[in-house]
Amino acid sequence: MSDAAIYSKQGFGARSGFGQRAALLVVDFVNGFNDPDMFGGGNIPQAIANAQGLLAAAREAGAPVCFTRVVYADDGSDAGVFRLKAPTLGALTESSHASQVVPELAPLAGEYVLRKTQPSAFFGTDLAGWLAFRRVDTVLVVGATTSGCVRASVVDSMSYNFRTVVVADCVGDRALGPHEANLFDMGQKYADLHESADVIAWLRTHEA
């Protein structure tokens, strides 16, 4: 029996669908995660390239846009267990080049740039309230890495009862095995998977 058949037999893989108003969450598409000598590699550059059209469509539709950055204090005073597991994350400070959003997706004035020290964009931040204030019921997720901060953000998005869409060609990982496994698992349990072309088409019929 295939993996998909096992999950289907047990009742996984249903669709949560789109709601009425979406926001775009751009998770950690920063220079350090686009650099194979730091945290990048794999299919991350292609995911960034694919996300450009989606970001343009979200802006055109008037959808709220939030970018996340991993940012630690220069002196390491806010470091925790995540830094114990991945000490090199300490290079991601407020002023470091590695922690800046990639120029291809540079935030515009009025778009939210959220700093975080944990994998999830929601943990210890005001993101859920920011989305609720803007009447968002659907979170479109792009970013890096699929198996790390994207997955953690997707699970928390669903846990806050946001309909959650992973834009499959706009998320990337340093290694393809974890990328593919986590895409499959998120699609079975936490989110709907869509290609960017489908999401762009939806956005064009749901302008804010």
Return the active site residues. 149
Distance between CA 113 and CA 173 in Å, rounded?
21
CA-atom Rg of the chain in angstroms: 16
3-state secondary structure at position 167? strand
* Encoded tokens for 5: 């058949």
* Encoded tokens for 126: 């005001």
Q: Which DSSP string corresponds to 123-158?
A: TTSSHHHHHHHTT--EEEEEEE-IIIIIHHHHHHHH
Distance between CA 63 and CA 21 in Å, rounded?
8
At position 84, the amino acid (one-letter code) is: L
Distance between CA 128 and CA 160 in Å, rounded?
7
Distance between CA 161 and CA 138 in Å, rounded?
9
**66: enclosing H helix or E strand:** strand 65-70
For the chain, give the number of residues.
208
